[in-house]
Amino acid sequence: MKTVLVTGSNGLLGQKITEQVVNQGGVKLIATAKGDNRYPVDTGYVYATMDILNPKEVREVIALYKPDAIIHTAAMTNVDTCETEKELAYQLNVEAVQTLIEVCGEFDIQLVHLSTDFIFDGANGPYDEEAEPNPLSYYGQTKLEAEELLKKSNIRWAILRTIIVYGIVSDMSRSNIVLWAKGALEKGSPLNIVNDQWRMPTLAEDLAACCLLAVEHEAQGVFNVSGKDMMSISELVARVADFWGLDKSLINEISAATLNQAAKRPVRTGFILDKAMTQLQYQPHSFEEGLAIVDEQLKARGR
Ligand SMILES: NC(=O)C1=CN([C@@H]2O[C@H](COP(=O)(O)OP(=O)(O)OC[C@H]3O[C@@H](n4cnc5c(N)ncnc54)[C@H](O)[C@@H]3O)[C@@H](O)[C@H]2O)C=CC1
């Protein structure tokens, strides 16, 4: 059985990977995060503290467990914060990847790295894996720079690019557009939502499963791993409203140009998924199937 170490295990993707291993087994998991473990179950895997900005700690933890693969989910993921805190964004999204590359090289570990549709300018999505990147934001720039570090390294690497990830984590501490929109519409709050940006939202469970498939198949190269339905952000919120029978008249469609966001966003991203589907047996759910999975989990938590 392979040993897999996950970074950022308190995040949305990190928790979903932990959940899948706890429920289904298949690998020996070392979950790592900065500070205390926030996953509520403490059996079925090992937890270790690992701050990805501390190269000494990173090396010590990896040397102790000598995993076959590392799934690197930790990052600065808030696109606007990356724009205003560039130094920290660079340390987390670029320098920490260099540290991992060095340690993976030393112990011959496969590195599965998470990247983003924001490496593209959104002029002509959906994109395949060979499309030319042109990031509009500092977040996109840092994630692209990390991809370039992997590509020029001598280690075994896979880059999984993804788009708007949604799902629920155990302590509900991390929100996302689906939960946020559902919560606001349930309270009867009017929402201003952009209607001129298009995405393919990704169920966190699908992405977590694909990360584990990338380890199982010893994937090498770049893979697009998103949901399969393209929609505008306003359509996404309208579909959330339809699914839970909420009042769509609260949705006020606006243009992105009217928002005062620190980071510029691409207009139309989206991915062509054939490579991950054929080479990794990636099988994404439809958006409504994904919402049904979220709904089941909310009900199981009495919400
Ligand atoms: N969530 C999304 O919509 C998208 C995510 N991605 C990428 O997918 C990956 C996973 O994203 P999510 O799980 O959704 O993000 P998340 O923000 O839920 O999780 C990231 C985790 O990294 C942790 N972290 C931050 N600094 C750390 C440090 N110094 N040491 C250890 N951990 C640290 C955070 O505490 C957080 O738990 C990221 O690489 C992100 O860039 C790409 C496109 C869209």
pLDDT exceeds 90 at position 301: no
Q: How far is CA 258 from CA 144, 195, 237, in A?
A: 27, 11, 18
Q: For residues 155 and 230, what is the distance between their CA atoms, to the nearest angstrom?
A: 34
| Ligand 1 and 224: CB distance under 6 A | no
- Say what the pTM is: 0.98
pLDDT tens string 213-254: 999 999 999 999 999 999 999 999 999 999 999 999 999 999
- Quote the percentage of the chain above a pLDDT of 70: 99
> 134-190, pLDDT tens digit by residue?
999 999 999 999 999 999 999 999 999 999 999 998 766 668 999 999 999 999 999
> For the chain, what percent of residues have pLDDT higher than 90?
94
Encoded tokens for 52: 């990805």
Is the CB of 162 inside a 6 Å radius of any atom of ligand 1? yes
- Could you tell me if the CB of 125 is within 6 A of ligand 1? no
Q: Is 116 in the pocket of ligand 1 (CB under 6 A)?
A: yes
Q: 255: how many CB neighbours lie within 10 A of its CB? A: 10
Cα 11 to middle of ligand 1, angstroms: 6
Instruction: Please work out whether the CB of residue 52 comes within 6 Å of at least one atom of ligand 1.
Output: yes
Enter the ipTM: 0.99
141: which residues sit within 8 A by CB, 6+ positions away? 135
So what's the pLDDT on residue 172?
A: 60
Residue bearing the CA closest to ligand 1, atom 3: 164
Q: Please tell me what DSSP assigns to residue 268.
A: B
Per-residue pLDDT of 98-137, as tens digits, reads: 999 999 999 999 999 999 999 999 999 999 999 999 999 9
**What does the alpha-carbon distance between residue 88 and residue 94 come to, in Å, rounded to a whole number?**
10
**Structural element, H or E, at residue 88:** helix 86-90
What is the per-residue pLDDT for 153?
98
303 pLDDT higher than 80: no
52 or 173: whose pLDDT is higher?
Answer: 52
Q: In this structure, are residues 146 and 91 in contact, taking their beta carbons and an 8 Å threshold?
A: no
Interatomic CA distance for residues 36 and 235, integer angstroms: 38
CA of 248 relative to ligand 1 center, distance in Å: 31
| Amino acid at site 37 | N
Q: What pLDDT band is residue 302 in, cutting at 50, 70 and 90?
A: confident
Residue 192's pLDDT band (boundaries 50, 70, 90)? very high
DSSP label at 48?
A: E
Mean pLDDT of the chain: 96
Cβ-defined contacts of 126-131 (< 8 Å, 24+):
126/200, 126/230, 126/268, 126/269, 126/270, 126/271, 126/272, 127/224, 127/269, 127/270, 127/271, 127/272, 128/224, 128/271, 128/272, 128/275, 129/161, 129/221, 129/222, 129/223, 129/224, 129/275
CB burial string 104-141: b at 16+ within 10 A, e below: beeeebbbbbbbbbbbbbbeebbbeeeeebebbbbbbb
Is residue 169 in contact with ligand 1, taking CB distance under 6 Å? no
Closest residue to atom 8 of ligand 1, CA basis: 114
Looking at residue 231, what is its pLDDT?
98
Give the mean pLDDT of 73-81.
97
Full set of structural domains in the chain with CATH? 2-175+201-226+270-286 (3.40.50.720)
CB of 156 sitting under 6 A from ligand 1: no
Ligand 1 close to Cβ of residue 12 (< 6 A):
yes
CB distance 140 to 152 below 8 Å: no
Q: Is the CB of 181 under 6 A from ligand 1?
A: no
CB 118 within 8 A of CB 136: yes
To test the pocket of ligand 1, the residue of 77, 117, 225 to mutate (highest count of ligand atoms within 8 Å of its CB) is 77
Ligand 1 atom closest to residue 202's alpha carbon, by position in its atom list: 3
